Amino acid sequence: VEAKPGGDVTAREIDRDLQSPDPEVRRRATTVIPDLPPDQGADYVVRALGDDDWRVRKEAAQIALLLGPSARLLDRLVELLFPGDNVGLRNAVVETLASFGRSAIPAVTGVIPRLDADGKKLAAEILGRAQDPSALVALERLLDDEDANVRTAAAEAIGDLGSLAVDATSRILLRALEQGDLHMRLAALEGLNRLGVVIPWEKLRPLTGDPILRRSALAAASRTGRTEAADALARALADESPAMFRLALVGLAELVLAAETTLRIQALDARARDRLLEAMAPSAKDEGSRRAALVVAAVLGEPGAVDLAIDALTDDRLSREADAALRIFGSSALPRILARVAHGDATLRAAAIGRLRGLVDRQSEDAVRLALRAAIADLSGEVASAALAALGSLGGPEDIAAVFAVVAAKTPGSLPAARAALAALAKRHPEDARMTAQVARRDQASHIATSVIIGALGGGVLGTVADDVSFLGGALSSPDPETRMTAVEAVAEVGSDLGLDAILFALADEERDIQLSAVRALGRLRSKDGRAVGGDRLVELTRESSDPELVATAARALGATRDARARASLHPLAHSVSPLIAVAAVETLGRLDDPQRIETLLELTGHPHAEVVKAVLLALERVSDPRALAELGAALSHEAWDVRRLAADCLGRFGGDQAGRFLNDKLAVETEPLVREALSRALGAIEAPSTIRRPATIAPPKAEP
């Protein structure tokens, strides 16, 4: 049977093909089931769900979703939760009913009282996987079922639902932890672990002695923030089981990373120490253990850990823990870091320099500055940039001349960092910076550096503001684009309208970046009394230019003028057919405190370009107006899935009961997995749970073999 254009496939044909010995014929027959009347289709799709071949079952599950959760199909599916021999069919039924989400919950909960224990376990699984908080009532009831396996399955399912209703699930699971039998307590504990719920140490301590619960209890101990828990985890490092060692190690590291003050850990016995050193060695294969071991070794003050942590700084998988380890070591790590700054791989040297700022103290200040001064002229742009960034915040007035010279040299790899460092030093030591600039003003090669200082100090560097603007005008005639760019930016920072002509002419620069920079500068340019002076020209630009990038940049610059007339011109730009311009205008409007922006934003929710609609949603999210909420809710039905997903996230941040209702209603019908995930996430955010959670940040412990 093949699908026919008129959709006039007969039930007899499907019936015949579903009996074919060839699985491909049966699969193809399944694909045309939607052409049948709905009730008939439900019967055939259930038949296909029970097929021997997984491909047919998979196709049938897809078709069931396509047919939707009709009463007939739900009735037929829940019937299959009663005892039967076809395991494949029951699995497919669980899959399909769970995919229907909230729509399947009344049918499943309605049938539970009549199901046997196996059926109830399946029902609990469906309810957990349906990812809808309305299943919680039925699942809580199953916690009191006479069958232990059903109770355990219910506790597991509640754990699965957790993120949608954190407070409610945590309350139920904590009750189950205190009152339930051993297996239910284990399921509850694991559910709480998955949610990252903080369980008081007093409740956990007795569980750490139970051979069944110990592992999960120690995993939970890592979230308590208590020294006693750290001791328990440290003792567990001596456990014979490698899995328990790993769990304790990761838990200990989590505890340390989450602690607001440095936790003390008792010294390890020789065997535990050997295992720790083994775990953090570069040759160790388990990445999670290695990450955790770096942190724990730092707390224990293991000397070899400093170099290993430095080595790990450039490894994306380990850098967070390596960084934390070096912070724990504090200034005692500085000699090793300084030794590594001078030699070796450039990326590693740059990373090591980047850590100096957080570790330097009064005693080490001079040695650190000395190392940085040597590194700012390094041949590697990466190293020089890192050193300049560090010197920008750690350097003194005596460093201005050296950084000034680096800016003047305009080395491509390190110029941005050099400019930022010089600006930072100038702001901290303005008098020294002024003197340096005045001495160098005649030297054309130094115009870029002098411009940086004028920009950083906002004028008054070479004399009067007029003197500075005149100097910058000269710098704008430089053949070097970087000098012109820096001068344009500096003119914008000097509080004077004298620079307007210079910036206007920079709009005709042959370098695109300088044109755009000049447009942005027009938005920032202020007269002495703080009035925006570039607004009129920006408005003209948006009206006259046919260059979308320039107009989009002008739209953003208009926002910076904070000028009412300039703001008004953003409204028509937001309706531009060019998405580049419309997005720029919408984003700018969204950031302004303009009461009229809501009207424009509401008009744009129907814009044909999805990116514009997304920008509108993000802007509406910040507007406290019921119309904005209604539009965010309506966007949950937008044809583009990425718009629907963003609308869900926006509603989550918007918050409130109505936003929750929109999200819940959509969750019942949405089929796109990524949108469903966003809906669940948003619902979790709206709930604003009072439960304290500390989700794991290092790889979760593996199951005991």
Partner 1 sequence: MSLGARADEVRMRPDEFRLLRDLVNGHSGIYFGDESLPVLERRLRERLSALSLKTFGEYYQFLRFSSLNAAELDEALDLLTTNETYFFREDYQLRALRDEVLPKLAEDNAAKRRLIVWSAGCSTGEEVYTLAILIAESRLFDDWEVRVYGSDISRRCVAAARRGIYGASAFRAVGPEIRRGFFADKADGSHVIDRIRQLCHFGHLNLVDTDKVRVVGRVDVVFCRNVLIYFDQRSRKKVIDMFYERLMPGGYLFLGHSESLLNVSTAFELVHLSEDLVYRKPFFTVPPRVRGGT
Residue with smaller CB distance to partner 1, 134 or 486: 486
User: Which of residues 40, 347, 444, 697 is near partner 1 by CB under 8 A?
Assistant: 444
CA–CA dist 109, 647 (Å, integer): 31
CA–CA dist 159, 703 (Å, integer): 17
Residue with smaller CB distance to partner 1, 158 or 465: 465
Residue 442 engages partner 1 in binding (rule: CB under 8 A): yes
**Least distance (Å) between residue 477 CB and partner 1:** 5
**Least distance (Å) between residue 507 CB and partner 1:** 5
Contacts to partner 1 from residues 506-525, by CB under 8 A: 506-510
**Least distance (Å) between residue 457 CB and partner 1:** 21
Residue 580 engages partner 1 in binding (rule: CB under 8 A): no
Rg of the chain on CA atoms, in Å: 33
Residue with smaller CB distance to partner 1, 12 or 442: 442
Q: Report DSSP letters for 594-647, one per residue.
A: -TTHHHHHHHGGG-SSHHHHHHHHHHHTT---HHHHHHHHHGGG-SSHHHHHHH
User: Which of residues 504, 618, 640, 668 is near partner 1 by CB under 8 A?
Assistant: 504
Residue 505 engages partner 1 in binding (rule: CB under 8 A): yes
**Least distance (Å) between residue 304 CB and partner 1:** 56
Total residues interacting with partner 1, rule: CB under 8 A: 21
Report the SS3 class of residue 377: coil
User: Which of residues 211, 412, 479, 530 is near partner 1 by CB under 8 A?
Assistant: 479
Tokens coding 164: 């949608």
Are residues 236 and 296 in contact, defined by beta-carbon separation less than 8 angstroms? no
User: What are φ and ψ of residue 532, in 5° steps?
Assistant: -70, 130
Query: For 575, which DSSP code?
Result: T
**Least distance (Å) between residue 508 CB and partner 1:** 3
CA torsion through residues 654, 660, 661, 664, sign: positive
The set of residues, in sequence order, having a beta carbon less than 8 Å from that of 387 and lying 6+ positions away, is 353, 371, 372, 373, 375, 376, 378
Tokens coding 45: 């799709």
**7 φψ region: left (φ > 0), alpha (ψ -120 to 50), beta (else):** left
Residue 438 engages partner 1 in binding (rule: CB under 8 A): no
CA–CA dist 224, 222 (Å, integer): 6
Contacts to partner 1 from residues 188-247, by CB under 8 A: none
Residue with smaller CB distance to partner 1, 371 or 503: 503
Q: Among the candidate windows 52-60, 474-482, 604-612, 623-631, which touches partner 1 by CB under 8 A? A: 474-482
Residue 474 engages partner 1 in binding (rule: CB under 8 A): yes
**Least distance (Å) between residue 505 CB and partner 1:** 5
Residue with smaller CB distance to partner 1, 381 or 473: 473
Q: Among the candidate windows 333-341, 471-479, 489-497, 634-642, which touches partner 1 by CB under 8 A? A: 471-479
Residue with smaller CB distance to partner 1, 509 or 621: 509
Angle at 417 between CA 412 and CA 418, to 5 degrees: 80
Residue with smaller CB distance to partner 1, 519 or 613: 519
Angle at 65 between CA 62 and CA 66, to 5 degrees: 90
**Least distance (Å) between residue 475 CB and partner 1:** 8
Contacts to partner 1 from residues 675-704, by CB under 8 A: none
User: Which of residues 477, 527, 637, 671 is near partner 1 by CB under 8 A?
Assistant: 477
Q: Among the candidate windows 22-30, 375-383, 498-506, 564-572, which touches partner 1 by CB under 8 A? A: 498-506
Q: Among the candidate windows 114-122, 178-186, 253-261, 540-548, which touches partner 1 by CB under 8 A? A: 540-548
Q: Among the candidate windows 112-120, 205-213, 468-476, 644-652, which touches partner 1 by CB under 8 A? A: 468-476
CA–CA dist 293, 327 (Å, integer): 15
User: Which of residues 24, 39, 513, 540 is near partner 1 by CB under 8 A?
Assistant: 540
CA–CA dist 233, 227 (Å, integer): 10
Residue with smaller CB distance to partner 1, 474 or 700: 474
Are residues 496 and 466 in contact, defined by beta-carbon separation less than 8 angstroms? yes
**698 φψ region: left (φ > 0), alpha (ψ -120 to 50), beta (else):** beta
Q: Report DSSP letters for 72-89, one per residue.
A: HHHHHHHHTTSS-S-HHH
**Least distance (Å) between residue 488 CB and partner 1:** 12
Which residues form the interface with partner 1 (CB under 8 A)?
442, 444, 470, 473-474, 476-479, 501-502, 504-510, 540, 544-545
